[in-house]
Amino acid sequence: MKKLSIILNLFFLSLTYLYGQNQEEYSKIYTKTFLETSQKDYKKALRTADSLFLISETPMFKAKSLMLSATIYKQIGETKKSVEYAMKAEKIIDGVDDLWLSKIDGFLASQYRSLELFDQSLNYINKSREVIKRLNNPKIERQMMGFVMQEKAYYELGAKDYKKSIEALKKSQEYFDTSTQNDYEFLTAQNEQLFGLNYFNLKDYEKAIAYYDLALKRLDEMPDNFVKALVYNGYSEVYIDKKDLKKAKKYLDLAEGISKNIPNIELKKVIYETSQNYYLLQQDFKELSKVNLKKDSVSEQIAENSKAFIRDSYTHLENKNRDIERNVKSKNWIIFVVGFLFVAGMLFFLVYQKYQRKKFDKVNQTLKDLKRTESLKVSNIAGEVKENVKLQNDGIIADEEEPIIVSSYEKKEHSSIMTETTEIMILKKLEEFEKSAEFTRNGISLSCLASSCKTNAKYLSYIINNHKGKDFNNYINELRIHYIIEKVKKEPLYHKFKIATLAKEAGFSSQSKFSTAFKKVTAVSPSQYFQHLQSAS
């Protein structure tokens, strides 16, 4: 059936291209697949994207179809496949079409941002800017700079610099307003949703609602999509903060209704987080427990996809570095051998030349002194032997005077495992990590944290062991226990939670593991501790 579906897709799509590929028709299929089909049936959307690729005749169409697949994989949380398709597209279009190259760089910036690899994200943002400068088309430059500044806004939002994010959005919208974008309404609605989210984080609820209203007016004319779901979710967040539970539930239901029909796990995670806040405020612990399970499942899936991508990328980078190192060593060895042979050849030539000259001088001397006595000849021979011995001695002395080279490895044998700068950098990253609640994420690993700290597992393990006085697992467990204790102390609502709920909130996979870790840190069981805390209050 799958093969038949692909064949039928190819047949109907090929009718559109019977007399050559048509940019307008291609864009219609592309837009419909992205905005409609992918929101309802992502498998069908992927088949359409594959079909578009197979019938594409030019690098631009091939790259565009690959980016359609990359975008769909991004929506369903398949990070690795999404980046792979985008990089294939980048390779095809590089040197062919700067417009699409800048779009692809912008997309990769977005992917690395979602993985919280902000340096790589910023690198692709800057790369996209450089490509845009080469376009020499003011209209297209404005259009593309709108995309770049929108991605910059996402970047600043991820870094929690909401004012900078708003400034980037203003610039993005200025570019969109002066360009001739076919999907202007959708892009503007995206910006308005982001304006709303930033103002919500700044606690300016009136502006947040005003921007959500503007976005919804544009989106009402379009099929349900992830941006509309985010707008409804934004309304719900505002009304939760304002303690208006009736309106909060209304918009939360609308967001969930769209989310159920869209295979976008990042969207689901955002909505589940809002649901948690709603049910916590409602004190509906039964529903809160259900949402916690759903959110944990989605978070684990996202974390696993991200971890797999980072792990594979790290392995690829290690292999690449190993190959480079091996090639460098091979080249250095070849250079050493060639250099040695050259020097040896020159020395041999000089010695041989000297020997020949002496031999020639000796023959002339013998001819001139033909009448000399045998004793004189012996004397000449003895002189020659003496000269040869001197030559040999000269060579030995030269060899002895050559400097002894000590390898950098020997010099560093007793040095520290890392530089002081690296050590300070990792400690600073750990301090930021401890202030966040990232350690409550279920499934966090040493390699994942090392990637977040922009270092490797060996260095991070060394820092934790030497500066924190414990191994990685005990370090994370201790952070989690202190976190949940502070929660219970500061928020009386947590007194009503069961131990199992508190365990999940802290990031533990089971109540028993939580209890074991709790007792190890506090010397008492969780139930004893919380009973004492309640009696004391």
Mean pLDDT score across all residues of the chain: 77
For 420-536, give the CATH class. Answer: mainly alpha
What pLDDT score does 65 carry? 86
The structural domains of the chain, with segments of one domain joined by +, span: 2-222, 314-401, 420-536
- Residue 86 to residues 73, 113, 166: CA-CA distances in angstroms? 10, 15, 28
Show Cβ contacts of residue 537 under 8 Å, excluding neighbours closer than 6 positions.
492
Residue-wise pLDDT for 378-400, tens only, equals 344 344 434 443 434 443 333 33
Q: What is the 3-state secondary structure (H, E, C) of 247-282?
A: HHHHHHHHHHHHHHCCCCHHHHHHHHHHHHHHHHHH
Cβ atoms within 10 Å, residue 508: 24
Confidence at residue 191, expressed as pLDDT on a 0 to 100 scale = 93
Burial of 44 (0-12, 13-18, 19+ CB in 10 A): middle
pLDDT reported for residue 247: 93
CATH 1.25.40.10 for domain 2-222, yes or no, is yes
Q: With a cut of 80, say whether residue 2 has pLDDT above it.
A: no
- 407 φ, ψ to 5°? -65, 150
CB 65 within 8 A of CB 58: no
Q: What percent of the chain has pLDDT over 70?
A: 75
Residue 356's pLDDT band (boundaries 50, 70, 90)?
low
Q: Categorize the per-residue pLDDT at 251 as very low, low, confident or very high, splitting at 50, 70 and 90.
A: very high
Mean per-residue pLDDT, 201-228: 92
The pLDDT value given to residue 240: 95
The reported pLDDT for the residue numbered 404 is: 32
Question: Taking 70 as the threshold, does the pLDDT of residue 406 lie above it?
Answer: no
Per residue in 414-471, pLDDT (tens digit) is 335 788 888 999 999 999 999 988 899 888 899 989 988 989 999 999 999 999 999 9
Q: What does the alpha-carbon distance between residue 269 and residue 297 come to, in Å, rounded to a whole number?
A: 9
pLDDT at residue 117, as a whole number: 74
What backbone torsions phi and psi does residue 270 show, to the nearest 5 degrees?
Answer: -60, -45
Q: What is the full DSSP assignment across 406-472?
A: PPHHHHTTTS-SS-HHHHHHHHHHHHHHHHSSGGGSTT--HHHHHHHTTS-HHHHHHHIIIIISS-H
DSSP letter, residue 284: -
Is 0.85 topped by the overall pTM?
Answer: no
Residues with Cβ within 8 Å of 460's Cβ and at least 6 positions away in sequence, in order, are: 426, 446, 449, 450, 453, 472
**CA nearest to 113, candidates 306, 298, 245, 264:** 306
Summarize the confidence of residues 225-235 as an average pLDDT: 93
- 505, with CB counted inside 10 A (0-12, 13-18, 19+), is buried
pLDDT mean over 347-367: 56
